[in-house]
Structure 1
Amino acid sequence: MNPMNARFAFIAAPLLVLAYGVIRILDGLDGSRGPGLAWTTGHLAFMAALVLFAGIFWQLRAMAGRDTLSTVSAVAGTAGIAALLAQFGIDVVVGFLAADHAGMSVLFDRVQSVPGVAIAVYDGGPFLFYLAQLALVIQLAVMRRVRPWTPVLVLIDLALPFADKDLIPLGALFLLVSFAPLARREVPAAATVRPAATVS
């Protein structure tokens, strides 16, 4: 990822997550979420954010010196992104196929009953995305390549949706604050980082 694209990703990804969170709240005002335009639009916004996060993870790896620890984190994060893209892709397809919310529930039950899908796409795989994101910023904080409060803000962003998914927009704002300095200062310097010794 070149510096210009990286700067864009660090700002656009949190904003897309914010858009998803706001649309999700609006979609639920009638008492149920999906199917419909709001369901599809919100999910596509989050999927676009995930695509940007793939580049962000590898940019953070470069900032950490491309060592073993950052590489493992980036690989794990990419796997988590793949799981989340599959999950949200299923959501979009179900939204198109179902006539109403009850119909969506039936289709979701069918999908999740397929062996391996629940753990890979819903209950296990997605957590790699969140853990890798936190691991990378903690490593960079220890290396003093990001501000000490950056992991704290990222952790808040990751934790808020587990408390209440309606807090996703608030979490996205914390993420934007934590990523903004990377877009302004750290990313251009990342291209000049020399590979560091591997960490076992």
Structure 2
Amino acid sequence: MNPRIAFVAAPVLTFAYGVLRILDGLDGSRGPGLAWTTGHLAFIGALAFFAVTFREMRRLAGGGRVATGLAVAGHVGIAALIAQFAIDIVVGFRSADHAAMGVLFDQVQSVPGVQQVVYDFGPLLFFVAQIGLVLQLAVQRRVKAWTPVLVVADVMVPFVEKDLMPLGAACLLVSFLALARVSRASRAADGRHRVAEPAVPAAV
């Protein structure tokens, strides 16, 4: 997949999830229903694109131990979030109303390890990796100093007020557009370097 597409699609789908979440809550409760399911599917799609951006940011950072460790942690976080959102979708399909969803969520989260891995610690790795990778690129001066600031803003917004997620996603889109430009320039330079390399004579 073209990383530049992922750098745009991830924040756009996150924005869509944020908007659908707001629409879903207009009646005073969230889920079950079309907005609940569609919003969660949008964010699962965003997570798939985030996986591509993590791999590309690792490459841009030079692929060292720190970048590799952060990328691996990010993928673990993505897996935890996908599991969380898949559970939400299944609970939504199996529930007649919001109250019934609460009962099913209690049953799922009471399974040993699920609360810690899927809801608490696991998802944090996604945010840590996202911030860590872009900070590393800023330290290496591959991106401007304001780029990680916008990424941190996107990460912090849901912890302050989840209804501000579309605003956070807009900040992320601005920062990821900068990363997309860096990615394009880097790959173009790599292509020129390969073309410029002299051919190795065949062994006689």
Whether the TM-score (by the shorter chain) exceeds 0.5 is yes
**AA aligned opposite 2:184:** P
* Structural RMSD (CA): 1.3
Counterpart contact for 2:11–2:173, Cα < 8 Å = yes
Say whether residues 1:96 and 2:100 are aligned partners.
Answer: no
Q: CA deviation at 1:147?
A: 1.1
Provide the residue aligned with 1:197 in structure 2.
none
Q: Give CA deviations for 1:161-198 in whole Å, capped at 9, x if unaligned.
A: 10010010000000001011222x2112444399xxxx
- Residue type matched to 1:188 in 2? R
Gaps of 5+ in 1: 195-200
**Residue in structure 2 matched with residue 44 of structure 1 by the alignment:** 41
For 2:101 and 2:13, locate their aligned partners in 1 and report how far apart those are by CA, in whole Å: 24
**Letter paired with 1:177:** V
- Rounded to whole Å, the distance in 2 between the matches of 1:190 and 1:74 is 19
Identity of aligned residues (%): 64
Match of 2:170 among 169, 173, 178: 173
Larger radius of gyration: 2
Mind listing any 5+ residue stretches in structure 2 that lack a counterpart? 194-204
Structure 1 CA distance, aligned partners of 2:151 and 2:179? 13
**Residue type matched to 2:66 in 1?**
L
Tell me whether 1:113 sits opposite 2:110 in the alignment.
yes
Corresponding pairs, count: 190
Cα separation, 2, equivalents of 1:151 and 1:89: 29
Deviations 1:16-37 (A, max 9, x none): 0000000000000000000000
Higher relative contact order (CA 8 A, sep 6+): 1
SS of the residue 2:144 aligns to: coil
Q: Show the counterpart of 1:198.
A: none
1:70 equivalent to 2:67? Answer yes
